[in-house]
Amino acid sequence: MHNAGYVAAGYSLTLVTLVGYRWLLTIRTRRAREYVSTITRRSRDKRRRS
């Protein structure tokens, strides 16, 4: 295959970008979920104490 390097680089980059973005969204979901559950728990405890 002529110019195979450019083709391979293009396809690899595309797939890495798609997978990378999906992974980044997983990390962001986890962080936001942890944050929400932490502040919800903290506010619930505060309400109980008061």
Site residues (vs another protein, CB under 8 A):
1-4, 6-7, 9-11, 13-15, 17-18, 21-22, 25, 28-29, 32-33, 35-36, 39-40, 42-44, 46-47
Residue 6 CB, shortest distance to another protein, in Å, is: 5
Kindly list the distances between the CA atom of residue 17 and the CA atoms of 7, 10, 13, 32, in Å, as whole numbers in the listed order. 15, 11, 6, 22
The Cα 35–Cα 31 span in angstroms is 6
Residue 12 CB, shortest distance to another protein, in Å, is: 10
Structure tokens at 31: 């962080």
Structure tokens at 48: 């109980």
Residue 13 CB, shortest distance to another protein, in Å, is: 6
